[in-house]
Structure 1
Amino acid sequence: MSGTGLSEYEERVISSVQENGYQIVSVFDPEDITSSFSYSVGFWETVGQPEIIILGLDGSMGRYAVEEAFRQCRNGLTITDGKAIEGLLKGYDETCVARQVHPDHFVRDYFNSAMWYHQWRTGQPLAAAMQLVWSYSGYYPWDDEAPQEIHEDQPVLYIGKPH
């Protein structure tokens, strides 16, 4: 892709989506795992699903969740708001719940590469993303009994409780 005006990183993202069907971007702070997250690039193009993001997990666990979500989408999973999804957290029986990200949260801090890639491929801004929300001691952030830690680990990018 030399001579395209794209950065090396952008070329790697494009190659990854073409070869694997997606790219995973992980932002990990070993000093503060609560600010760590992973998100997808290319789900909408390859499996016809919104991009996904999972917050508050270390890089390897976040990557696993995105990879497994992609595998399940390839096998027919449709990710919709409120959908419970099993098997995304390696070694845990926890169920994640997909929540539709509010457009106010389509920001570079969370979706930089996904926003760039979507704009580059379609000429349009990123229009859909889902947050994969995991439980803490059996509680989700929208549960009244949820511990404070879950709110610190998983910033809410969606609105309201699931249907």
Structure 2
Amino acid sequence: MTAPDSSKDRKVIDDIQQHGWHCLHVLPGPDGESGFSYSIGFQATYRAPEVMVFGLQRSKAQALLGECATLLAAGHKIQTDVEDGEVLDGGYKVIFRTVRADCHDEYLATAMRHCGPQPLQAVVMFLPDSAHRFAWQAGYDDAQADEALGIVHANAR
């Protein structure tokens, strides 16, 4: 972890020391970019990738990331490209996909400053729609997933 460069960095460091992680919210951009939130500290605290979620209200994003932190603290492992039924209630599952390294600077700069000497590992958590479909499946009804799909490794659908 780096020395704090600002009061914001100090807050990240303090949260990681107190809670094991910090939640950073990024507002939607002026050119239609989606807002998103991500963890900082999962890699250092739980030896797990940092997790990003797109297009959710801050409180919902923080609650989902908090649930991930609780699961990780209990020994849960994040696996990519498989349905994970532990994060959401109601029989809904999420799928984690790996963020491409060439997107880290643009999307995860603060996490990069706090990941220590090892390369940053990060995933996007994709949520299903009400019919349990994911963003890459026909009929998915949430258009906000396009940006998230654009930063992850392409996978067989």
Range class of TM-score, shorter chain? 0.7 to 0.9
- 1:106 counterpart residue number: 104
Residues 5 and 102 of structure 1, relative CA distance in 2, 3 Å threshold: closer
Residues 150 and 161 of structure 1, relative CA distance in 2, 3 Å threshold: farther
Structure 2 residue 87 is matched with structure 1 residue 94: no
Q: 1:149 aligns with which of 130, 137, 143?
A: 143
- 2:126 counterpart residue number: 133
Identity percentage of aligned residues: 24
Q: Number of aligned pairs? A: 153
In structure 2, stretches of 5+ residues that fail to align are none
Residues 85-105 of structure 1: CA deviation (Å, up to 9, x unaligned):
33545x765321111111122
In structure 1, stretches of 5+ residues that fail to align are none
Is the 1:52–1:130 Cα contact (8 Å) retained in structure 2?
yes
Q: 1:116 aligns with which of 107, 113, 117?
A: 113
Residues 103-122 of structure 1: CA deviation (Å, up to 9, x unaligned):
122123x212101112xx32
Structure 2 residue 153 is matched with structure 1 residue 159: yes
Letter in 2 for 1:131: V
Is the 1:16–1:23 Cα contact (8 Å) retained in structure 2?
yes
Partner-residue secondary structure (3-state), 2:137: coil
Is the 2:124–2:148 Cα contact (8 Å) retained in structure 1?
no
TM-score, normalised to structure 1, is 0.79
Compute the RMSD of aligned alpha carbons. 2.8
Q: Which runs of 4+ in 1 moved over 6 A?
A: 31-34
Distance in 2 of aligned mates of 1:94 and 1:34: 26
TM-score, normalised to structure 2, is 0.82
Letter in 1 for 2:139: E
Map of 1:1-40 to 2, 5 A cutoff? 6-29=5-28, 35-40=34-39
How much has 1:13 moved relative to structure 2? 0.8
Letter in 1 for 2:12: V
